[in-house]
Amino acid sequence: MFPFNELMDFKIEMTDEHELFRKSLREFAENRVRPYVQKVEETNEIPQTIIDGARELGLFGVGIPQEYGGQGGDMRTMAIMAEELSRVMPSLGTMVFVNHLFIDPVLMFGTEEQKRKYIPRIAKGEIFAAHANTEAAAGSDVAGIKTKAERTEGGYIINGRKIFITNSDRASVFILSARTNPPEPGKRWKGITTFIAEKGMKGLEIGQKFKVIGLRGEQPNEVIFDNLFVPDSNIVGKPDEGFKVIVTTYDYSRILIAAQAVGIAQAAFELAFNYSTERIAFEKPLISFEGVAFKISDMLTKLETARLLVYWAAYMADQKKPLFLMASSMAKAYATETAEELANLAIKIHGGAGVDQGTGVERYLRDSIITTIYEGANDIQRLTIAKTLLKLVSKSAEIG
């Protein structure tokens, strides 16, 4: 059983409400999103009609407490949304759930005034939010950020550059990290503070768009802080303890990336299976040949394993189980690598049609590769798992 304590730690429970929500998302994605997939691939923009549809369905309020204008919903609900949207258009899934990289830290660490000021507008879909942490020399290494915030009367002056910031070109509000004090020996995490900045503030600029290989329609930008003044009232959490704000946010958000990967894997499997039954070679369907049949069988097995891991991690988070952090890292690493593998297999099963952009198969490989990198590269997830195990062993030894 180690590192878990009992069989009930492996429980996953879903409700009728979860299934009704999934069905409504499936209908929305098929009827109102799928017709625009090719257009988004060509223009690199998500049409306003899709955004309006998501707003009408209340998707921007999912996972936000009703007292702040949201629809409510637990982590399983959020995972369902990430999976179903990403099955058809992964970039749409990203556009919707990336708001929670602002929402969640404000809900967990922000003041009541900050919650009331920003979250209801995001929940209604009136504004978008972004999370500005990654830098050229600090991605998974949050403690390595170089952006500086210097004390001044009534607040801080911030200077620095952030890269690969999703939603930044449409965001009205940002949560950002900056060093308010140099790191202490042995405590590199200390001295980081998180702030809220708003579009229109002097010194906040949106820079170049990064032409990454996937997620067409929701590709990231550079965000530049040039003597940006942020008042004390916009500090999220305690000064010099922003590292905790950032990494706690990722503990939850990586479950959504894992769910997004399951959506991609599901789409890849469906495309491969359908093609294998329809494509005739040597007077037989492709699936009649063991080389293809075995691939399809393995794809389904890995897909469902990934799905179980993701919803298990989400349920553990909902139950506030301490080991949900390790479960979320396990789910993120496995599900995203499964999505990449299944997308690659789908291409091979399609043969020449698989590398034709018009068939819509190869885009899932491009999107899946990104999921293995953002929200903490998978090697970081493996380090998290190993460190958690070592802590458990150390704690057990102390008790013994």
Q: Which residues are identified as catalytic?
A: 375
Query: Distance (Å, rounded) from C-alpha 372 to C-alpha 359?
Result: 24
DSSP readout, 111-153? Answer: -HHHHHHHHHHHHTTSSEEEEE--BTTBSS-GGG---EEEEET
Contacts of residue 367, defined as CB under 8 A and 6 or more positions apart, other chains included, come to: 86, 90, 91, 214, 215, 264, 343
Among 52, 2, 50, 11, smallest CA distance to 29 is for 50
> Judging by beta carbons within 10 Å of its beta carbon (0-12, 13-18, 19+), is residue 320 exposed, middle or buried?
exposed
As separate numbers, helices (DSSP H) first and strands (DSSP E) second, the chain gives: 12, 10
Question: For 247-387, where are the E strands, in sequence order?
Answer: 280-281, 284-285
Query: What's the CA gap between 370 and 336, in Å, rounded?
Result: 9
Contact 274, 360 (CB under 8 A): no
The amino acid occupying position 291 is: G
Nearest to 308 by CA among 300, 297, 298: 300
d(CA 96, CA 106): 17
